[in-house]
Amino acid sequence: AQSVTQLGSHVSVSEGALVLLRCNYSSSVPPYLFWYVQYPNQGLQLLLKYTSAATLVKGINGFEAEFKKSETSFHLTKPSAHMSDAAEYFCAVSESASKIIFGSGTRLSIRP
């Protein structure tokens, strides 16, 4: 069965610092992988997705993620955090891009 594990329910970084949100997946077939962001009182919004075209995926707002099959990881990074990046981030996996399973989420806080 497919699943994702997000390491760290809460991450806090200083403005301008590197953002690293960790995600490991489990899938019996080559997976589709996604990162979504949720701002307070809103629905989720797609940040980026991996569909086997390239291992380094660039998304919106300066975020990117790298697919590492050997580590079954799909960590999300951003070189320099901005106050507006404060939100909850969800890693998600799908074996068919139809039934998408979300991780438990990581709340990102930005310190001034």
Q: Give the per-residue contact string, 13-32, with other proteins (x = CB under 8 A; - = no).
A: -------------------x
Q: Are 48 and 60 spatial neighbours (Cβ–Cβ below 8 Å)?
A: yes
Q: Are 25 and 110 in contact (CB under 8 A)?
A: no
Judged by CB under 8 A, the residue of 21, 67, 89, 103 near other proteins is 103
Smallest separation (angstroms) from other proteins to the CB of 111: 24
Q: Can you tell me whether residue 49 is helix, strand or coil?
A: strand
Among residues 57, 65, 101, 108, the one that binds other proteins under rule CB under 8 A: 101
Q: Min. distance of Cβ 28 from other proteins in angstroms?
A: 17
The total of other beta-carbon atoms located within 10 Å of residue 41's CB is 5
Q: Residue 104 and residue 20: Cα distance in Å, rounded?
A: 16
Under the rule (CB under 8 A), what is the footprint of other proteins? 32, 34, 36, 41-46, 49, 51, 90, 94, 96-105
